[in-house]
Amino acid sequence: MVILLIVGSIAIGFMVGVLFLGLSRKVKARIHWRYGPPLYQPIIDIVKLFHQGSVSHGFIFDFGILLSLGGAIVSLLFIPIGNIIPLHGSGGLLVVLYLMLIAPFGIALSSVEAANPNASIGISRKFILTLGYEIPFLLIVLSVMTNYGTTSFVEIVALQRASHWGIISMPLSGIALLLILPAMMGIRPFDQVGAPQEISSGPKVEYGGIYLALSKIQHIYLIFIDIALFVALFMGGSSEPLTFFLKMLPIFLIVILVSTVYPRFRIEQAFSYCIKWPTIIAFLGLLVVIWR
Amino acid sequence: MDREQVIKALKDSGKWGHKYSFWVVYFCTGCGIIEIPPVITSRWDAERFGIIPVATPRQANLFLITGYVSLKTLRPIIRTYEQMPEPKYTVGFGSCPINGGMYWDSYNTIKHLDKYIPIDGWIAGCMPRPEAIFIAITHLWTMIDKGMANAYKKYRKQYKYYRRNQEMALGELQWPPLYPIDEDE
């Protein structure tokens, strides 16, 4: 039964993530007044990348990318997708906090082996950005745990269904998470890490073929996990996958609209943004939760 | 995507992927690059065919050389081409890479690019319109379908010829040969 749940969770994460990626390209194209690629374009890209040749730079290069993909998949298993939550007995929110750091760490290992200066710059930017958004994210998670008195996703969702959504009982924390969501997903205006125009797509500069396919799949899971976290913590989760997906859709569209309109921050602007407004709002949210 | 295409895609998914997902390195050698921004932005929108620009040769599978090739830019062109993973396709854009064009008499441009790297197809004209790029792409689709877009195999097979031409143009090359060269042939 657990195996079935794990397979189902991974499959749903992949399909919804691919759909989101295709949708984002289509929505961006429509905003640019273009027709845009077909909705299944990410699948074509991934199929092509698996058929393309590639160059390996050593064992750590192969291992790092697998580590980052594995980290993304494992953290997916702790997220409740509707009633599908394979590893609900253990950990919960705290484990997800730790596991979400494995993905950038794996990419960093892999890029060190490639020894490309662009990759090193990209990795240093990634960790600066991570340092920026982890502070408000920890404050938000702390206020959620304080408010509901538990670290289990199942109980948080159940408590929200008993009263009302988290965004109503702690609006400041919800807003703060929405503000750092693009930074966590690594999309514009926070795509300094893989900026193609500045540092030749950063850590991905030496990836080709199957490596690029794996890193693309990892990005797909990352998008899914970040939006699913918001829905589970602040929008009441769901009792079935379909409603969960319908709740994820507007959040994703908001993020995409912001990313289409705004240009890229410089890395120090992104860092000072992250530790200024989202942190202040998240801290106020924590104070309100404690004093209530 | 109609039913016929679905069957085709399932039968040979690699070909399907290579056809509808061209990731392009645009080599901005000359005036030809001015035709590329309209192609990839709103006016002609190349992304509806899956064509997107990428920043590094490792991720690309189509190489578009837009404009004249001077001796100085020939070196990075060869390096970029050799770094691209197979299968890779090359298209020369404009009349300058085909036969020298208006730089026929110039002392520091090369006249025939296909002596130095293998080319799958040419887009003739000075300048070609952006539509010509899409015509070239549809020709490339047909060639991939029929298995004719195999210039990269030719490069492996006749590497001695290409390497000799490169050395004649550039003098001593600073990088080792990509494929082993048999001196006995």
Q: What is the C-alpha separation between A33 and B148, in angstroms, rounded?
A: 36
Give the tens place of pLDDT for each residue, A248-259. 889 899 999 988
- The number of distinct structural domains making up chain A is 1
SS3 B105: coil
* Cross-chain residue pair B59–A207, CB shorter than 8 Å: yes
pTM of the entire structure?
0.88
* Cross-chain residue pair A45–B54, CB shorter than 8 Å: no
Which single residue is written with the structure tokens 């949210």?
A: A285
SS3 B64: strand
Q: Which residues contact A67 (CB under 8 A, 6 or more apart)?
A: A102, A105, A106, A109, A110
Query: Is-contact A265 A273, C-beta < 8 A?
Result: yes
Give the pLDDT band of residue B183 (cuts 50, 70, 90). Answer: low
Q: Return the amino acid letter for B69.
A: V
- pLDDT exceeds cutoff 70 at B184: no
Q: Which residues contact A190 (CB under 8 A, 6 or more apart)?
A: A129, A182, A183, A264, A265, A270
Q: What is the C-alpha separation between B112 and B74, in angstroms, rounded?
A: 11
Give the tens place of pLDDT for each residue, A37-68. 888 889 889 988 988 888 888 888 888 888 98
Query: Is-contact A90 A142, C-beta < 8 A?
Result: no
What strands lie across the sheet with B52-53, from one edge to the other? B52-53, B23-27, B62-66, B89-93, B121-123
Counting residues of chain A whose pLDDT is more than 70, the rounded percentage is 99
Q: Which of residues 12-41 of B touch A (CB under 8 A)?
A: 13-14, 16-18, 20-21, 41
* CB contacts, 8 Å: B6 with chain A: none
For chain B, which domains are there? 21-170 (3.40.50.12280)
Q: What is the pLDDT of residue B126?
A: 84
Is A193 within 8 Å of chain B by CB?
no
Give the tens place of pLDDT for each residue, A135-191. 999 999 889 888 888 888 788 888 888 788 878 888 888 889 888 988 888 888 888
Structural domain boundaries, residue A18:
2-291
Q: What is the pLDDT of residue A280?
A: 92
Q: Which of A72, A71, A68, A274 is nearest to A183 (CA)?
A: A274
Q: What is the C-alpha separation between A118 and A116, in angstroms, rounded?
A: 5
* Cross-chain residue pair A32–B41, CB shorter than 8 Å: yes
A39 token code pair: 């909705």
* CB contacts, 8 Å: B54 with chain A: 196, 201
